[in-house]
Structure 1
Amino acid sequence: MQTETAIFAGGCFWCMVKPFDTYPGIQKVISGYTGGHTVDPTYEEVKTQTTGHTEAVLIEFDPSVVSYEQLVEIYWNQTDPTDALGQFQDRGDSYRPVIFVKDAKQRKIAERSRTALANSGRFDKPIVTQIEDAQPFYPAEEYHQDFYKKDPARFELEEAGGRQAFIEKYWK
């Protein structure tokens, strides 16, 4: 089986795992940090907003089952693409929305999708989600992995911080 990877940042990485993890063709979803200047950062370092890292998820997927285009669509449906300063109750650079692309093919797909979203009229504010080249990805600490399964009650509180209401309003 061939696998490819995709990296998306859309606020707290806890909330970005479940939508991808339950989709056919997804092999693994890893919470972590990317885009910064600190090597192998910790959660405590990243949350200080001084490492330049963004909380993100790295998705390993089987492209014969799910395409990168489909993953980008799932991504949009989990985020507020009009908020560059974080996502929902999570504020700051470490929570900014970014599609990290690994090659020209992914960039073209992401840019085309962002343009289509901007032209759709779905939002009355500009689409500000960035598309950036992938940087080294550092897996987060084990207790962050599959958090929605490990601590469902706390996960639900995070989702209730505005994300779920936004998704219902704009994406359902």
Structure 2
Amino acid sequence: MKETAIFAGGCFWCMVKPFDTQPGIFSVTSGYTGGHVVNPTYEQVCSGKTGHTEAVEIVYDPEIISYEELVEIYWQQTDPTDAFGQFQDRGDSYRPVIFYQTQEQKFVAEKSRAALQTSGRYDQPIVTKIEQQKPFYPAEEYHQDFYQKDPKRYQAETTPRQKFLQAHWGKEK
């Protein structure tokens, strides 16, 4: 059995490894969603004129890892208080969004967001959007599995994120 989850949390390069390394994950694909241009390119998305955001599409086995668990991993990869990008990546194409496919996914995401808001972990409002899934377009091949292709650059890209996550979650994510 396979199901799909789509999460946007800033640079898609930084969002692959935390999911890709979990049991029950078949694939994690970097791509674009939420916009109005069919099959956009990286350059088009970066222009800010397509309405897309960088995201990851996760294909998983719900008997091994639940959607709830994926949402919890998601929160531990992002700054849910920043609606205008993530870490050094700024603008709409880097906004944090959970894209749901079913009403059950929407319910799980909303319940989890509410729990995070009342947890006291953050002193600012949780602003991550929960939106209905739109078409997902895989990014160019050179963006796929970036953490494996260029580990040094991946490490440099994730350093600000790691410092923030460690401050809020107590350990390196």
**Scaled by the length of structure 1, what TM-score is found?**
0.98
1:164 has 2:162 as partner: yes
SS in 1 for 2:6: strand
**CA–CA separation in structure 1 for the residues paired with 2:147 and 2:16:** 8
Which residue is 2:2 aligned to? 3
Q: CA-atom RMSD, angstroms?
A: 0.4
Partner residue of 1:52?
51
Q: Residue 131 of structure 2 aligns with which residue?
A: 132
Give the aligned partner of residue 103 of structure 1: 102
Looking at structure 1, the residues matched to 169 and 61 of structure 2 have their Cα atoms a distance apart, in angstroms, of 25
Partner Cα separation in structure 1 for residue 90 and residue 78 of structure 2: 13
Helix, strand or coil for the counterpart of 1:112?
helix
Number of paired residues?
170
Could you tell me which runs of 5 or more consecutive residues in structure 1 were left unpaired when the two chains were aligned: none
Counterpart secondary structure, 1:51: coil
- Structure 2 distance, partners of 1:22, 1:123, is 26
Q: Which aligned runs of 4 or more in structure 1 are off by greater than 4 angstroms?
A: none
Match of residue 85 from structure 1: 84
The answer for unaligned runs of 5 or more in structure 2 is none
Paired residue secondary structure (1:100):
strand
- Match in the other structure for 1:27: 26
CA distance in 1, matches of 2:22, 2:91: 29
Note the C-alpha offset of 1:150.
0.2
Aligned residue for 2:167, secondary structure, equals helix
Secondary structure of 1:65 counterpart: coil
Distance 1:92 1:50 in 2: 11
d(CA) in 1 for partners of 2:121, 2:152: 32
TM-score w.r.t. length of structure 2 = 0.98
Partner letter of residue 35 of structure 2?
G
Deviation of 1:157 (Å): 1.0
Counterpart of 1:61?
60
Q: Aligned equivalents of 1:25 and 1:170: distance in 2?
A: 26
The one-letter code of the counterpart of 1:94 is S
